[in-house]
Amino acid sequence: MTKNPQKPWAATVLTLFPEAFPGALGASIIGGSEKSGIWQLETVDIRDFSVNRHRTVDSPPAGGGPGMVIKPDIAAKAIDSVAQQSRPLIYLTPRGKPLTQTRVRALSKGPGLIVFCGRFEGLDQRVIDARQMEEISIGDYVLAGGEVAAQVLIEACVRLLPGVLGDAESATEESFEDGLLEYPLYTKPREFEGRAIPEVLLSGDHGKIAKWRREEQIKMTKARRADLWAAFDKGDDHECD
């Protein structure tokens, strides 16, 4: 086992379902890089901070309405049990700022993160405000809980940590890295169900290949993501933020 001489990037996940971890974070290069000490994962069971024998953590919403809300006192105790170590405290919620590759890159350069996974209708607003939690959404849809969202966020960060991706899997030419979507990819065989690999990719002319890929990136971004294209075309920030 290779040991990383620097302090590993550390993710602490506060959850009602610690058994959902590591989940996808235990597989392939992400799981392997945790084993080799590049990053570390810890879960905290929010229910351990309940004050009654039924281990309840939720209560009906003030003002009425469906579902239950996670109580602020219990959430705060769970949060305060974690050594923050300058890590951002994130609450995953559909109401949050949409996650971007720019934010992921910034988080991957820091010491790690602390993530609070909501359940039920969500978390009492007062603890979000009192602990100055950063609210992040992974997309405009509603999941049953924050656990899958936490895995999305952590995986996106971990794959950018030095030593996780080999040269062969470099992240530099990917979608969003320069504000555009990635160009289409092809591999052997040369022909598949009557469809050939574009001739230029077999030409060996690296200049022509780079030009073709750039044109494809632009074509695809214009067709699929008017928002990204507008930001790129404006040229003020070649990011996907």
Binding stretches for ligand SAM (CB under 6 A): 92-95, 117-119, 121-122, 137-139, 141-146, 149
Closer to ligand SAM by CB, 139 or 184: give it: 139
- Which structure tokens are listed for 150? 């936490």
Q: Which pairs from 172-176 meet CB under 8 Å and 24+ separation?
A: 175/101, 176/100, 176/101, 176/102, 176/228, 176/239, 176/240
Nearer CB in complex with ligand SAM: 116/232 = 116
- Determine the Cα–Cα distance for residues 40 and 224; give it in Å rounded to an integer: 36
Please report how close the Cβ of residue 118 comes to ligand SAM at its closest, in angstroms.
2
Q: At closest approach, how far in Å is the CB of 70 from ligand SAM? A: 8
Q: Which is nearer to ligand SAM, 128 or 164 (CB)?
A: 128
State in angstroms the smallest separation of the CB of 39 from ligand SAM.
Answer: 21
Closest-approach residue to ligand SAM (CB) = 118
Give me the least distance between CB of 127 and ligand SAM, in Å please. 12
| φ, ψ of residue 42 in degrees (nearest 5) | -135, 140
Closest to ligand SAM by CB, 97 vs 234, is 97
Sequential DSSP letters for 153-184: HHHHHHTTSTTTS-GGG-STTSTTTTSSPPPP
Shortest spacing between CB 176 and ligand SAM, in angstroms: 18
Lookup result for tokens 């992240």? 171
Comparing CB distances to ligand SAM, the nearer of 149 and 180 is 149
| Rounded Cα gap, residues 58 and 40, in angstroms | 29
